[in-house]
Amino acid sequence: MENLYSTEKFQKINEIDGLFPFNFILNDGDKLQSEIHGISNENKATYGIYAPFWMPEITLKRSDINQLDVFVLNLISLHKEEKNISIEIRLPPSFYSTSLDILKFILLKHGFKLSNIALWQTLKIKGFECKLSYENSLKYSSRKELKNFSKLYQFNLREIDITDKSAIKASYQIIDLNRRSLGTCLKYSLNYLFNLIAIEPNRIKIFDLIVEDRHVASAICHETRDDILYVAAWGDANHNLNKSPMYIFGSELTEYCIQNKYSYLDFGISSDLRKYTPNLYKFKENIGCFASLQETFYLDLLRL
């Protein structure tokens, strides 16, 4: 499956002023070719900077070190010919592909520098037979949160119909209200979400948590790989519950992933070098996530 964030159609729906999508055919070596898509910002070539990450097609297969070396050399040469002044690449954590660590090594070998490092947290689904086995794997304090919430409230997970625009809007608004309560906002508009669904209707999933017949939390998720469900945005709002519903929401999403044979429920970035959020990291750790590193690489072409 081609990575959603690396496609031409994904670049085209960006809604940030001054960004322009581009695409090239790049030689991977041994007469292999990849079509690559990115976004230009003031003559700076970027890959995955305006997305969770970029994952070139060459990493979807078990590429050898020579192919990856040729790929990176040709990428640099192409952007020098295009008179770009820099290249910035945000890659996914290494569990997405066995080729990624080799690609990172090759980038560093050819002069790229690390411009940012993020702590990325993910729940491994394999090994859980049901929701109970997942919950029993958690630390005592997390199990207590789940047990106490279950005693107080009736709840259920609802996957919404992505053709239902009013339901999508309601879910978006819950997450947006959550962000605003934290002094921030969602990074994209409701119209952008509609456009994303239009280009990838089978890979966007939206869930609501219903507590005592009331919609209290939502999650916008993407299938980033056949067996990975990525939580792009989630949050709770508009309720007066005595306890946070997010532990239960995480457990319900985990049960969905168990039933639908996903390998990972991916909660993405918790902190990076520019924004340290230890409480968010701790919460994801409490719901069973393991941590890995996501790296962003930068090359100043004017110095070559």
Confidence grade of residue 102 (pLDDT, cut at 50, 70, 90): very high
Beta bridge partners of 155: 211
- 4-117+294-303 and 126-262 share one CATH topology? yes
- Given this model, what pLDDT does residue 60 score? 85
What are the sequence ranges of the domains in the chain?
4-117+294-303, 126-262
Phi, psi of 77 (to 5 degrees): -60, -40
Task: Work out the average pLDDT over 25-30.
Answer: 73
**SS3 helix, strand, coil % of the chain, rounded to 5?**
40, 30, 30
pLDDT at 1 over 80: no
* pTM, rounded to two decimals: 0.95
Q: Report which residue type is found at 115.
A: S
Per the model's pLDDT, the better-predicted residue between 57 and 177 turns out to be 177
What pLDDT sits at residue 64?
Answer: 87
Percent of the chain with pLDDT over 70: 98
DSSP character at residue 188: S
Longest Cα separation, the chain? 64
Alpha-carbon gap, residue 299 to 131, rounded angstroms: 45
Look at residue 46 in the predicted model and tell me its pLDDT. Answer: 98
Query: What is the dotted CATH code of the domain comprising 4-117+294-303?
Result: 3.40.630
15 sits in the region (left: phi over 0; alpha: psi -120 to 50; else beta) called alpha
Q: Over the stretch 36-79, which tens digit does the pLDDT of each residue have?
A: 999 999 999 999 999 999 999 889 876 789 989 999 999 999 99
Instruction: Give the mean model confidence (pLDDT) for residues 283-294.
Output: 98
In CATH, what class is 126-262? alpha beta
Name the band, by pLDDT with cuts 50, 70 and 90, for residue 218.
Answer: very high
282 Cβ neighbours under 8 A, 6+ residues apart: none
Instruction: For the chain, give the mean pLDDT.
Output: 95
pLDDT above 70 (res 31): no
User: What's the pLDDT score for residue 177?
Assistant: 97
Which segments within 91-213 are labelled E, that is strand? 113-124, 155-159, 204-211
pLDDT at 28: 67
Of the pLDDT bands very low, low, confident and very high (cuts 50, 70, 90), residue 29 is low
Q: Would you place residue 2 in the very low, low, confident or very high pLDDT band (cuts 50, 70, 90)?
A: confident
pLDDT at 225: 94
